[in-house]
Amino acid sequence: MLQIGPHQFSDEDVISTLRAGPALFDLVTDGLRADAVAAVSPHRDRALDVLDDRAEDHAVALATFWLEWRAAMAAVRATGALGPSDVATVTGLFRSDGGVPKLPVEHLVVSHGGVVGDRQEDRHNHGRPWQGLCMWSTDVIDDFRRLGHPLAPGLAGENISITGLSWPRVRPGVLLRLGDVLAEVTAYAVPCQKNAAWFVDGRFDAMHHRHGPVSRIYALVLEPGTINVGDPVLMETTGSA
């Protein structure tokens, strides 16, 4: 087990995070203005240099990548490219002992590793520290339901349903304060076959981020605590974490 700050990585987490490294940097800058892309560039260059040599020492490679990736997201916030802060509401909380759907609860206890008592059946694709929380928008779910998809909060495996945020703005680099918890959005959750039942004709790919701001998002837990249904959500778009 490798420890970086308060976050623990299994051997498989280390390898899969390094493998995902270039794509994670792509998500940070996708669609942003030139000054934000330029702010990320030196961090990306240093990270990709060490990823090229990752076979020699995975621990050193991950530590360097982690530092540069987190710094890249902070650099984007510092440019102001993520727009103004916003406020919304936690309207659903969910966990399970593995698989989907996740079941509703009134509150979640969150550690640096994610939701206490929540488990992922597929640890090959889920459960890394930067996937500590999975969140989705009830506004996006409502849009899908209007198209005839039999979705509902929690069915697709999210831990937290949020109502009232402009979902196109919830992207890697944004900070979310939910109850006591502070989290940093890191990536989009790629859908899998287990979610086919919630979509007409099994077309679960409809919620892939390649189709626009429709995806669930993953977040890294920076400050653990408790989240309750009805808690405010503060989206912070500037400052360090």
Task: Calculate mean pLDDT across residues 206-225.
Answer: 97
Instruction: Write down the pLDDT at residue 110.
Output: 97
- pLDDT band (50, 70, 90) for residue 155: very high
Q: Is the pLDDT of residue 56 over 80?
A: no
Q: Which residues contact 116 (CB under 8 A, 6 or more apart)?
A: 108, 109, 110
For residue 241, what pLDDT is reported? 72
Taking all residues of the chain, what is their mean pLDDT, rounded to a whole number?
A: 93
* pLDDT value of residue 53: 62
Question: For 180-201, what is the mean pLDDT?
Answer: 94
Tokens of 234: 């503060």
Provide mean pLDDT across the span 131-156.
96
Percent of the chain whose predicted confidence (pLDDT) is above 90? 84
- The answer to whether 46 and 64 have CB atoms below 8 angstroms apart is yes
Q: Say yes or no to pLDDT of 97 above 70.
A: yes
Q: Which of 99-108, 170-179, 216-225 has the lowest mean pLDDT?
A: 99-108
The pLDDT value recorded for residue 125 is: 57
pLDDT bin (cut points 50, 70, 90) of residue 126 is low
pLDDT value at residue 85 = 96
pLDDT computed for residue 119 by the predictor: 75
CA distances from 158 to 61, 148, 175, 201 (A): 30, 20, 18, 21
Give the pLDDT confidence score for residue 102 in this predicted structure.
92
Name the pLDDT band for 193 (thresholds 50, 70, 90).
confident
Find out whether the peptide bond into 22 is cis, omega within 30 degrees of 0. Answer: no
Tell me how far apart the alpha carbons of residues 97 and 168 are, in angstroms, rounded to a whole number: 30
Q: What is the CA radius of gyration of the chain?
A: 17
- Does residue 77 register a pLDDT over 60? yes
The residue written with tokens 């621990």 in the block is 59
Neighbours of 22 (CB within 10 A): 12
